[in-house]
Homo-oligomer: A and B are copies of this chain.
Amino acid sequence: MPHRISVMLDACPNDLGAVDRNKLAECIAACFQCAQACTACVDACLGEDMVADLTTCIRTCPNCADICAATGNAVSRQTGTNAGITRAVLEACRQCETACKELLAALA
């Protein structure tokens, strides 16, 4: 996926300033990979016999999916003037990462 993202970034006439295009493409790809994995995780949880024990995960993952997708969209838009929005939504991603790590630790 990063390759196709890079093709679009290179087609974009906006000046990206000091932003590293490779890192940006990887970041965008990671956002959508996380979103998809969270959505798939819910589906996998719902297939387990112990589904009643997995409701916290089933509730948390859609939040992570929504937030990661919104972040992937936000970083796909070269809105240089909205550093505040970008930073805030990336911080929300980090909170999702923390929540997912806690869920995994609780399962182990």
Residues of A that sit less than 8 Å from B by CB:
1, 4-5, 8-9, 11-14, 28-29, 32-33, 35-37, 39-44, 46-48, 51-52, 55-56, 58-60, 62-67, 69-70, 72-74, 76-79, 81-82, 84-85, 87-89, 91-92, 94-96, 98-99
How many subunits of this chain does the assembly comprise? 4
Min Cβ gap A55→B in Å is 5
Secondary structure dominating the interface of A = helix
19 A-B residue pairs with Cβ-Cβ distance under 8 Å, sorted by A, are A1-B29, A1-B33, A5-B40, A8-B40, A14-B47, A36-B76, A43-B76, A47-B55, A47-B78, A59-B77, A63-B79, A64-B85, A69-B69, A84-B98, A84-B99, A85-B95, A88-B88, A89-B89, A92-B92
